Structures are given as C-alpha cells and as structure tokens.
C-alpha cells in the first residue's frame, strides 16, 4: 500500500534524489541541500501552525511505499504565492492597429509582464519516481491536494493555479527563452531556471523587457511554443483539465508554458468529495465499495490512501478495512473525506 503524508526532516535524502531525477525545468525542486532542507523545514512549520487564512505556508507531502518504507514521490501546495517575492507571468493579450482612412485593421498578440496571480494558491512540485509509476499513483499524488484543500479551506485561496512545464529539449534549451536570452538576458535557460528555484528573482525585474513584447517579432520557434507543455507534462495537464482547470492566457516567463487555474469549489474531485464517520469492516469495504482516495481530517498527522470504501447511506457512514484505518491512523467513528477514483457521470 502507498500512503501520502507530510514530509519530515528524515526524508531529505529521498527528496534530494527526486530533485536530481526531475531534471532541468522543475523549478520548485533545485538540487541544493540548503534550499531543500529549508523547504522541508517550511513544510514542517506549515503543518504544525494554526492557520485562519492563507499566508506564506508551504505544504509538501511525500508518497511512501509502506512495504519497503521507500519515498517514491512528492507533491505540494503553496498557500499564497507572491507575498514575499514577486510572482511573475506573461499575459497573452491583443492590441489593434487600425486606420479607417486606409482601411487597414491588424490585430497583434502581445505578451505583458504581470503579477496578477499574487495571493492565490498554487499546486506544485508533483513528481513520481519511475519505479512507482502505474496504477493510480500519479493521479493520487495530484488529487490528494484537492481533498486536503477542501477539508481545510481556511488555509487556501479560492483560486487555485498550476504552472505547467513548457517546451525544452533534453539539454534544457527552451526555444522561447533562447529569444529572450539573445536580446535581453545573456543567461542560459538552466541557469535562469536554477536561480529562480533558489529564490533569486531580482534579475527578472532588472533584465526583463519593460514593455509588452509583440509576439510576431519573436522567432518562429519561440512563437510555436507559447502556451505549449513539455511532452512529459502532457499527462499532468490532461489530468488537471479533467478536474476543470483551464488556461486564461497566462504563461511562464521563462519557457512560456501555460498556467492553468480553477476555483476550488469547482474542482471536480473537491466538488464530488464527501465527509463521513467510518466503520471498520473488512468484508463490507471489499464487497459493497469502490476504490476511493481517502484522507483523514488532521493537518499535522495527515494521512491519505487509495483503497476500497463503501458508503452505507442508511447509517450515514463510510466503511473501510482495518488496513486502511491503520494507514490513516484513525479509529472507528473518526471522520474521513473521500472521493471516487473513477467518476460515474
């Protein structure tokens, strides 16, 4: 069985391995011991705090194989972005150049630097190690965040965003960044990506074009990747689109990958979730149930599993197995929040 739980200091080696495996373009996990340990410490603080509104909390979870004790994945939530450091995006808009006298009307796409997403909640840092890929593990890592946010809504914004990795090659070269590098930054993409990952964002404000960029002035290669995702990111984007996320014209300032957004109340897994007290019954869970993502209602002692659960509507309870109850660290009568793995439309 796999469980998802809060990260702790003992998980450093596993997190470092994940950072190495994730590669260039995975900005939220730089291969830097000081910063990774700081990330773990921030998460431990966030899970232990009493919170009444979203702030500078960073929740980082790990997926653990309970048989081997191995950490096989990670996933995270930033409660409110841009409160300490500026949170930059390009917004893709339009300008019209028209002359009625000459009967000329041209509409041109432009990219404008903005901080429009300041204060919203960001889901981030999702990575599943290769040996654990398969089954529902990838979806579990993604969807568990929606259940956690729905259960603890006071900790998060109503607007949820996800920055999707843009197009780059195996060496980490981004066609979009190549144009910016040539004309403004004189800094290669892996270096710029790494500096952002370690929190050094001042260079963005110092070197970024001060005025909107006309898209038709970019190289053809750069134009082609605006709003496109890296090949390895397509499954993650499809999963979020199934949940109700969509891109509203915002793209990353480095690789032009899309940022997608949704309201928490409208995210499908959150919307379909239910909260009930549990009854522990191995046979009842297996015979009358379906596979669900299940979380306990704790923050500091948060646990999540994906396993069989049956609902007794007459009794108003959720029926789970002893193994599931143990993994969730709960007793009969305790509350759980859950959502089905497969939606029945």
Token pair recorded at residue 56 = 């500078």
What domains are defined for the chain? Answer: 1-79+121-157 (3.40.630.30), 84-118+164-230+251-258 (no CATH), 273-340 (2.40.40.20)
Token pair recorded at residue 310 = 């049956």
* Sequential DSSP letters for 13-40: HHHHHHHHHH-TT-TTS-S-HHHHHHHH
Coil/strand/helix, residue 306: strand
pTM of the model: 0.91
Please work out, in degrees rounded to the nearest 5, the angle formed at the alpha carbon of residue 244 by the alpha carbons of 243 and 245: 100
pLDDT at residue 287, rounded to an integer: 82
Model confidence at 303, pLDDT cuts 50, 70, 90, reads very high
**Distance separating alpha carbons of residues 95 and 67, to the nearest angstrom:** 58
Model confidence at 63, pLDDT cuts 50, 70, 90, reads very high
Q: What kind and span of H or E run contains 94?
A: strand 89-99
- Does 345 have pLDDT greater than 60? no
Question: How does pLDDT run across 143-185, given as a tens digit for each residue?
Answer: 999 999 999 999 999 999 999 989 988 777 889 988 988 888 8
105 is catalytic: no
pLDDT at residue 272, rounded to an integer: 95
- Does 204 have pLDDT greater than 80? no
CA distances for 162 relative to 25, 56, 127, 196, 197, angstroms:
14, 17, 14, 16, 16
pLDDT at residue 65, rounded to an integer: 93
Model confidence at 22, pLDDT cuts 50, 70, 90, reads confident
Share of the chain above pLDDT 90, in %: 70
* Range in 178-182, 255-259, 276-280 the model is least confident about: 178-182
- Does 95 have pLDDT greater than 80? yes
**Crossing angle of the two packed helices 137-151 and 234-243, in degrees rounded to 10:** 40
Please answer whether residues 318 and 276 qualify as being in contact, where contact means their C-beta atoms are separated by less than 8 angstroms: yes
Mean pLDDT across 219-241? 93
Model confidence at 197, pLDDT cuts 50, 70, 90, reads low
The mean pLDDT value of the chain amounts to 91
> Burial level of 162, CB count in 10 A (0-12/13-18/19+)?
buried
pLDDT at residue 271, rounded to an integer: 95
Model confidence at 24, pLDDT cuts 50, 70, 90, reads low
Residue 35 or residue 298, greater confidence: 298
Taking the CA atoms of residue 96, residue 98, residue 100 and residue 103 in that order, the dihedral angle to the nearest 10 degrees is -120
Model confidence at 25, pLDDT cuts 50, 70, 90, reads low
Which of these is catalytic: 105, 152, 183, 230? Answer: 230
**Which ranges constitute the DSSP H helices of the chain?**
12-22, 33-48, 137-151, 175-180, 189-197, 202-207, 220-224, 234-243, 268-272, 282-288, 322-328
**Beta strands at 104-114 and 58-65: parallel, antiparallel or unpaired:** unpaired
Stated length of the chain: 345
Token pair recorded at residue 251 = 């793209």
Residues 6+ apart with CB under 8 A from 340: 272, 290, 291, 292, 293
* Range in 74-78, 80-84, 244-248 the model is least confident about: 80-84
Count the alpha carbons within 13 Å of 188 in the hemisphere toward its beta carbon.
7
What are the residues facing 160 on neighbouring strands? 121, 262
pLDDT at residue 29, rounded to an integer: 81
């Amino acid at each position: 069985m796999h469980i998802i739980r809060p990260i702790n200091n003992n998980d450093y080696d596993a997190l470092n391995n994940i950072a190495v495996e994730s590669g260039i373009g995975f900005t939220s996990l730089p291969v830097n011991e000081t910063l990774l340990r700081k990330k773990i410490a921030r998460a431990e603080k966030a899970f232990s705090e009493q919170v009444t509104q979203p702030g500078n909390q960073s929740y980082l979870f790990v997926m653990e194989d309970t048989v081997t004790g191995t950490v096989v994945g990670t996933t995270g939530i930033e409660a409110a972005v841009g409160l300490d450091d500026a949170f930059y995006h390009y917004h893709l808009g339009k300008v019209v150049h028209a002359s009625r006298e000459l009967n000329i009307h041209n509409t041109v796409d432009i990219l404008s630097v903005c901080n429009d997403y300041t204060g919203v909640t960001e889901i981030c840092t999702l990575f599943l190690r290769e040996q654990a890929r398969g089954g529902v593990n990838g979806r579990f890592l993604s969807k568990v965040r929606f259940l956690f946010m729905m259960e603890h809504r006071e900790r998060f914004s109503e607007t949820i965003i996800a920055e999707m990795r843009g197009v780059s090659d195996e060496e980490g070269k981004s066609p979009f960044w190549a144009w910016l590098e040539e004309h403004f930054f004189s800094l290669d993409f892996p270096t710029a990506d790494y500096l952002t990952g370690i929190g050094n964002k001042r260079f963005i404000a110092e070197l970024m074009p001060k005025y909107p960029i006309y898209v038709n002035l970019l190289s053809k290669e750069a134009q082609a990747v605006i709003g496109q995702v890296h090949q390895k990111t397509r499954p993650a984007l499809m999963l979020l689109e199934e949940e109700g996320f969509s891109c509203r014209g915002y793209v990353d300032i480095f690789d032009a990958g899309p940022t997608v957004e949704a309201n928490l109340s409208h995210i499908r897994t959150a919307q379909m979730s239910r909260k009930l007290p549990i009854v522990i019954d191995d046979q009842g869970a297996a015979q009358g149930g379906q596979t669900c993502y299940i979380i306990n209602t704790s923050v500091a002692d948060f646990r999540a599993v994906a396993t069989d659960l049956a609902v007794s509507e007459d009794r108003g309870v959720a029926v789970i197995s002893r193994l599931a109850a143990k993994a969730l660290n709960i007793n009969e009568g305790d509350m759980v929040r859950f959502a089905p793995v497969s939606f029945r439309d």
